Structure 1
């Protein structure tokens, strides 16, 4: 792992930290064409405030939108679908993401209400929401935190929010790991901006936040999640979907 593989910034001005990460990674150059559809995917799985360690801080969203608008990108959207047991609009409100979208005049699309199509994801059929499929570039904004079933959740698993509810249920019946790996073969070019501000290292719904005040940047979701395992005292092989995703050529 080299300095080019991961960017790390510590601090408390979260909006500025997001902009610094994106600037250092030169994400504008990675995206290229200013007319591309750029979608931001926070973690708003449940209606919990970011201070609980469950959801993406709105300042990171604000910093990312500012960076993109300052670099001339015209087609920016925020896309997310909460987990089946919650409502996306309530989750966006609890996290303050709805206010950010209004302030910057950026549309927020609730993927629980979106249409979808089925795709062949390296031999596994997966239903993906149309707004996600339409993105030319995705900025994945997960929270670094623990998960009761998969030990960790970060870049790879955060993309589960791009699925319709019925597909999320099916993923759980399949044990999560294999479908998560295959899902990530459908994801467009992306950058990962990790909220490591105060994630709960035990439980995805939050409640026991661990303050780190860090923001991380990656281009490789497999490397990202392997690094998260190391931070949390696991080996990458402890999280099956990381190994499976790597074998499928993700990252």
Structure 2
């Protein structure tokens, strides 16, 4: 451990983790490693050391030739340098994967605008260029049956990957309270179908959170690296402000790493729709008792001053969907 680079502040502090409802006995045998590190900056040397540590501690194993889909958060071209996964984190992850012999595709499917446009605005396209990588859009929608009825179009590119390395930006979310690992996988739904899902399911939060969990469950093996070094608070998922939480966290289970972060922020299951949904499905990662922390502990981070977003309606107005499709078309034609 390079103590001059990575720090573990807060030992002995009097904050504590909130308990979750008692898990069924069979779930008490589960043990998800949530590898957290205090990372104060996005400097390359710092990130290289941190990424290597959290991947090792969270038991990520990549074999040569494995096809890995790197899935950053490329939510929107507006405020992209703050609202998307930091380019330095994504670049460091890609470098780590290349060093381990993986075949990489970096892709997302923003609801509005092509992924390449958001990547340019965020600086990700420029960061990946020296590695010979570019950002592409997730395409080829395959109907995914939903547990509450209906279907949604999930990308065949994502379904056919050997592994997805999910890199969410830790953010508040005006509609779902928090956006982290589970929510970021919604980006595997192709293009405007996400906006349509908001319109079709947004009248009922229970239907929407069930759909998000269905998408997460349908995807192939994932590993998750949460960019919470500069998290977003006050407003989200696009127009918020940065908050220095100084957190990088890795885990093989999206629900487990989300649970750890919800607890770190002092939230309870009844406040977070996706946490409620995970508990209702008896997902083991939704219970703190099923997690262990091989590096830093959630109580070692200080969320004082982290502010949640005002609540907003889930449903998108039809005019917003239409205008979004027009903007996407204009951006596509501009590239031709």
- Pair 1:168 & 2:168 matched: no
1:56: how far off? 0.8
Picking from 227, 230, 233, the partner of 1:201 is: 233
TM-score (normalizing by structure 1): 0.86
> Partner residue of 2:216?
184
Over aligned residues, Cα RMSD in angstroms?
2.6
Residues 171, 242 of structure 1: alpha-carbon distance in 2 compared, 3 angstrom cutoff? farther
Structure 1 residues 130 and 199, CA gap change in structure 2 (3 angstroms): same
**Unpaired segments ≥5 residues, structure 2:** 1-16, 18-30, 203-207, 286-336
Corresponding residue of 2:261 = 228
Kept in 1: contact 2:80–2:118 (CA 8 A):
no
Q: 1:49 to 1:239 in 2, by over 3 A?
A: same
Partner of 1:60: 89
Number of residue equivalences: 246
Farther-moved stretch of structure 1 (158-167 vs 17-26): 17-26
Q: What TM-score do the two structures reach when normalised by structure 2?
A: 0.66
Per-residue deviation, 1:178: 1.4
SS in 1 for 2:33: coil
Native 8 Å contact 2:72 2:167 kept in 1: yes
Q: Residues 3 and 188 of structure 1: is their aligned pair in 2 closer, same or farther, counting only changes over 3 Å? A: closer
The CA deviation at 1:107 is 4.0
**Equivalent residue number for residue 323 of structure 2:** none
Q: 75, 98, 106: which one pairs with 1:45?
A: 75
Moved more, 222-231 or 21-30: 21-30
Deviations 1:119-146 (A, max 9, x none): 3455753321121112111111011110
Contact 1:230 1:236 in 2 (8 A): no
Partner residue, 1:146: 172
The DSSP-based 3-state class of the residue aligned with 1:200 is: strand
Hey, what does 2:181 align to over in structure 1?
155
Quickly say closer, same or farther: Cα 1:13–1:59, change in 2 above 3 A: same
Alpha-carbon distance in structure 1 between the residues aligned to 2:174 and 2:109: 20
**CA contact 2:171–2:180 (8 Å) conserved in 1:** yes
Q: Which residue of 1 aligns with 2:125?
A: 98
Cα distance change of structure 1 residues 76 and 29 upon mapping to structure 2, 3 Å threshold: farther
Structure 1 unaligned blocks of 5 or more? none
- Hey, what's the Cα distance between the residues in 2 that align with 1:58 and 1:181? 27
Q: CA deviation at 1:248?
A: 6.4
Greater Rg over alpha carbons, structure: 2
Contact 2:109/2:187, CA 8 A, preserved across alignment? yes
Q: Report how far residue 77 of structure 1 moved.
A: 1.0
Separation (CA, whole Å) in 1 of partners of 2:143 and 2:253: 25
- Please tell me whether the aligned partners of residues 15 and 59 of structure 1 are also in contact (alpha carbons under 8 angstroms): yes
Judge which range, 25-34 or 157-166, deviates more. Answer: 25-34
Distance in 2 between residues matched to 1:14 and 1:216, nearest whole Å: 17
Distance in 1 between residues matched to 2:264 and 2:75, nearest whole Å = 22
